[in-house]
Structure 1
Amino acid sequence: MIRRTLKNGLCVLMLSLPVCLSAQSKIVNVTSLGAKGDGVTKNTVVIQKAIDQVSAADGGQVIIPAGRFVTGVIKLKSNVDLHLEKGAYLLATTQRIDYGKGPASALIVADKAEHIALTGYGVIDGQGEGVLKDLQVLLEAGIIQDNEWKTENPWHQVRSAEINRPMLINFEDCNDVQVRNIELKNGSCWVQRYENCRNMVFDGIKVESNTYWNNDGIDLVDCVNALVTNSFFNADDDGICLKSEKRNHCCENITVENCIVRSSANAVKLGTASHGGFKNISIRNIKVYDTFRSAVAIESVDGGILENIDVNNIKAVNTGNAFVVRLGHRNKDEVVSQVRNVSIRNMTVEVPKEKPDKGYPMEGPALRYPHNVFPSSVTGLPNHPVQNVKLENIEIVYPGGGDKNVACVAIDSLAKVPENPAGYPEFSMFGELPSWAFYSRHVEGLQLSNVRVSYKEEDFRPAFVFDDVKQLQLDNVNVMSGKAAPAVVLSNVKGFDTRNVQLPFDNATGIVTLK
């Protein structure tokens, strides 16, 4: 059973037991119906029969015992817990046609189901390499159609379309979903996707998926009331990702806590799809390592409303960027996104000089132009500012080493930084930036409190640039490194207040207001 309580204005889900089985619950071991865990026999029909029987009997548990059970697409139904015992491997068929000749089905699907669960200490293995090899054969033979597999995408990758690569899990319009303790690995696309689902708990899961691009660790799409806790994600794409794909829906009342994330994209991300928005999201107690892009990316660029976001206690090492907060406009209609009430606190980040995911199987796409290390950023659009952002108790150590001969945007040329309203939101979307620690533009209500930034090698750029910012407050901000004044640049800033700002230079030269 799931019950809800309110904590700090956020809806928190709590479960009484992992899975509640009554004395009348039906339990079916798939081997009793003829399933074979030999790693060869395809058990799709048998596993589906077990699920159907348990659901028809008002619920219970389908057990996958120790062994290697190959399966094609199976559909989880209401009141069924698919339980993988320790030593159990549920192996995805590597025959791509088994997922459909058109868009690929996920391996495990559910639609409008209630009270469903995936539990146990077994492994669901997507066998992505085998699936991709077979897909290539079918593409070359013209059996499966794909408009992308021969074309380089904006990230300079040549890959088959997402719709042709099966996910491991795809649940839609489901209620009361539990995923506990299982391991998910080797996907060929997003590992697990949950759309328009309610009352969900993910606890103690492990995701290892570096087989191919688009391997998000988990995607919650327009979901309401969800907990993601005590889990590990090692993914080629975003580790933990919240998305909003419908204008009249949103991700709401979601807590992510006590997780470890490694990603060749972003560790934790809200977006990129952001049509409806994100409300009341809590991200706390997250450890990040060897991550290519940002530890935390908070984005609304498709007309959605993003509000009441609390990020707390993030520790990131060898990570390309601390955080990005972005309001953009890539949707074709006139509805402009809104971003407001974002709090990022108790964060420590170490940004390396070299590519942080170097050596992983599918590295993030390196930029093909010379640049210096990118700062963290909060950016909106002209006349559409990001509103009410608090940055508190944050320490970021940068590598420094900024060189004018590599790239340079002078502080008297801030207008050269492109607005790029429809650009893909990421820390490098503006190209070279004029500061080494933090860049902010088009913001209304920005507070920095107990913020420390430093670098290991000299950087010619100022630490902070604030451009078109209203109601800016710097309280106990410490810039510990600096080659030459200024350290803080203000351009079109209205309502500026400072308290105990510590700079490598005196404040008269360290803080410059551009005319």
Structure 2
Amino acid sequence: MNGRILDVRSYGARGDGRTIDSDAVNRAIAAAAAAGGGTVLFPAGRYLCFSIRLASGITLLIDRDAVMEAADPAHHDGRYDLPEPGAAQLYQDFGHSHWRNSLIWGEDLDGIAIAGPGRIDGTGLTRDGPGARWRRQTGERPLSMAGMSEAEIRALEPAAERMNGLGNKAIALKNCRGVALRDFTIWKGGHFAILATGVDGLAIDNLRIDTDRDGIDLDCVRNAHVSNCRVNTPNDDAIVLKSSFALGAARATENVVVEHCTVTGFDLGTMLDGRFGRTQDLAPDRDRVTGRIKLGTESNGDFRNIVIRDCRFERSRGLALETVDGGTIEDVEISGITMAEVTTAPLFLRLGARRRGPEGTGTGALRRIRIRDVAATGIDPRFAATIAGLPGHDIEDVTLRDVRLVYGGGGTAQDAARSPPLLADAYPEPSMFGVTPAFGLWVRHARGVRLKDVRLETETPDARPAIVTEDAEVAGE
């Protein structure tokens, strides 16, 4: 924390929950930046704000009993900063392509922090936004959404012009260096509670996030560490690493550690209040509730040197590693994972060929994956752990060690006889293949898969075999 402390009330903020305080907060940030940096303090109160613009060398300190509340343009006098003009948005959706239309944003900054123990309340943000402008539109949406009407899709993906003046992220950072986010709570963070794109040197610790879409999105980041966070996201992913084309080129996400985190898909708000509700069954994509830690789906760049350890999944989709847009996922170490009430497959490794990218984008690779010390119970019996590449594009060198997966059972002989389609260019989700022909582990188009002390169990009888392979080399011990 910087030594100089500037109280936002000294710059005109009221903190009464009625006055728009963003101009006062931005004056305090500008004054601190002009003085060479400092800490901008939010003492106890409720600060109703539109866009807050960070500056280098600034720490925002949200004190105990302080709340930064996202104002709602439909009810309050003002609007959020407009989305940046000229953003590509060709190969990723609106939310990934813009940063300034947020409650708190920063671009090309050094040495910034947001710290608690207070709260960010994103009630005035929207979770919606239009999709990518990619002309092929192949694999844009999960297959589970195929039965939705155009009106239902439009409700989730409004036209871009409708987004002007709205905020759709709680915190958005682009091309920043030396960032720390710690000790605060986010409630309803919009499309992304946190979107960090092109950030180098990022530490996220001890956050509580209970939100209506994505939790923490790390896109094209380097040297990042996420620890001790609890993220509840019934409608989308909790902690997700991506390598999109949002910065106008394919960039890698590399040297990332995610540890000691819990991800969940309980009813919205019930993680924060401790009720842990289970009334919501489906996410907006019409699959079961989400949560989870994931690599992909946006995967134009590579993923290298990723560590995920000592994390818990509760009422959540399982761990997913997905590259479908030409990038390579390699050198991933996963360990110490526990899962309870898994709403799709517990493990999903997918190499696909959506190839959403510039002309010439090819098929990527998925290799050198180490998964050990994983225990999952209450798994949706339809979906086995899946390792699925493509003909001529095998997933390579995967080790599962000390893994115990317990499924509900109930699969039929007809399920066992299924041969799921390739679906090379489809959006990657475990449900894309339908009921798997194995109850425990299904491996297709893979080489060098090694199983060591892997136990696959069912709570009730299942007519499917534990393991099914197709064009795959699997060795067990």
Q: TM-score range by the shorter chain?
A: 0.7 to 0.9
- CA 1:199–1:428: 2 relative to 1, 3 Å: same
- Alignment partner of 1:373 out of 345, 367, 382: 382
Aligned mates of 1:124, 1:218 — CA distance in 2: 14
Equivalent residue for 2:79? 98
Equivalent residue for 1:32? 10
1:272 maps onto 2:285 in alignment: no
Equivalent residue for 2:365? 338
Equivalent residue for 1:238? 237
1:203 maps onto 2:202 in alignment: no
- Alignment partner of 1:347 out of 362, 374, 389: 374
Equivalent residue for 1:386? 395
After TM superposition, the structure 1 = structure 2 runs for residues 156-235 of structure 1, keeping only pairs within 5 Å, are 156=148, 158=153, 159-161=155-157, 164=163, 166-210=168-212, 215-235=213-233
Question: Per the alignment, in what secondary structure is the counterpart of residue 236 of structure 2?
Answer: coil
- TM superposition shift of 1:393: 0.3
- TM superposition shift of 1:403: 3.1
- TM superposition shift of 1:409: 4.7
Q: Percent identity?
A: 31
1:52 maps onto 2:52 in alignment: no
* Contact 2:181–2:205 (Cα < 8 Å) also in 1: yes
- CA 1:457–1:314: 2 relative to 1, 3 Å: same
1:84-108, Cα deviation, whole Å (9 max, x unpaired): 0000000000116612566770111
RMSD of aligned Cα (Å): 2.2
Equivalent residue for 2:259? 257
Give ranges in structure 1 of 5+ residues lacking alignment: 1-18, 137-147, 354-371, 476-515
1:179-232, Cα deviation, whole Å (9 max, x unpaired): 01011111231111000000010011110113xxxx111000000000000111
Aligned mates of 2:116, 2:434 — CA distance in 1: 46
- TM-score in terms of structure 2 length: 0.81
Aligned mates of 2:156, 2:10 — CA distance in 1: 39
- CA 1:230–1:388: 2 relative to 1, 3 Å: same
List, as ranges, runs of 4+ consecutive aligned residues in structure 1 with deviation greater than 3 Å. 100-104, 152-158, 162-165
Question: Per the alignment, in what secondary structure is the counterpart of residue 10 of structure 2?
Answer: helix
- Aligned AA for 2:188? N
- Alignment partner of 2:335 out of 297, 312, 315: 312
Equivalent residue for 1:124? 120
1:282 maps onto 2:260 in alignment: no
More strand by percentage: 1
Aligned mates of 1:336, 1:206 — CA distance in 2: 37
- TM-score in terms of structure 1 length: 0.75
- TM superposition shift of 1:351: 2.6
Equivalent residue for 1:327? 351
Question: Per the alignment, in what secondary structure is the counterpart of residue 459 of structure 2?
Answer: strand
Aligned mates of 1:174, 1:308 — CA distance in 2: 25
Aligned mates of 1:80, 1:101 — CA distance in 2: 23
- CA 1:78–1:240: 2 relative to 1, 3 Å: same
Aligned mates of 1:160, 1:474 — CA distance in 2: 45
* Contact 2:232–2:291 (Cα < 8 Å) also in 1: no
Aligned mates of 1:334, 1:42 — CA distance in 2: 46
- Aligned AA for 1:279? R
- TM superposition shift of 1:334: 4.6
- TM superposition shift of 1:153: 5.3
Equivalent residue for 1:444? 447
Equivalent residue for 1:429? 432
* Contact 1:322–1:351 (Cα < 8 Å) also in 2: no
* Contact 1:249–1:277 (Cα < 8 Å) also in 2: yes
- Aligned AA for 1:258? H
Question: Per the alignment, in what secondary structure is the counterpart of residue 195 of structure 2?
Answer: strand
Aligned mates of 1:179, 1:101 — CA distance in 2: 24
- Aligned AA for 2:399? K
Question: Per the alignment, in what secondary structure is the counterpart of residue 438 of structure 2?
Answer: coil
Aligned mates of 2:120, 2:453 — CA distance in 1: 44
Equivalent residue for 2:322? 299
Looking at both structures, which has the greater relative contact order when contacts are Cα pairs under 8 Å and sequence separation is at least 6? 2
Equivalent residue for 1:145? none
Question: Per the alignment, in what secondary structure is the counterpart of residue 29 of structure 2?
Answer: helix
Question: Per the alignment, in what secondary structure is the counterpart of residue 168 of structure 1?
Answer: strand
1:73 maps onto 2:51 in alignment: yes
- CA 1:266–1:186: 2 relative to 1, 3 Å: closer
Equivalent residue for 2:277? none
* Contact 2:192–2:216 (Cα < 8 Å) also in 1: yes
Equivalent residue for 1:358? none
Aligned mates of 2:456, 2:228 — CA distance in 1: 30
- CA 1:284–1:465: 2 relative to 1, 3 Å: same
- TM superposition shift of 1:431: 1.7
* Contact 2:82–2:101 (Cα < 8 Å) also in 1: no
1:251-274, Cα deviation, whole Å (9 max, x unpaired): 100000001110332410000000
Of stretches 424-433 and 28-37 in structure 1, the one that deviates more from structure 2 is: 424-433
- TM superposition shift of 1:26: 2.5
Question: Per the alignment, in what secondary structure is the counterpart of residue 315 of structure 1?
Answer: strand
Give ranges in structure 2 of 5+ residues lacking alignment: 84-93, 95-99, 130-139, 266-288
1:448-498, Cα deviation, whole Å (9 max, x unpaired): 00111110111111110011113x2101xxxxxxxxxxxxxxxxxxxxxxx
Aligned mates of 1:77, 1:188 — CA distance in 2: 22
- Aligned AA for 1:176? G
- Aligned AA for 2:303? F
* Contact 1:99–1:166 (Cα < 8 Å) also in 2: no
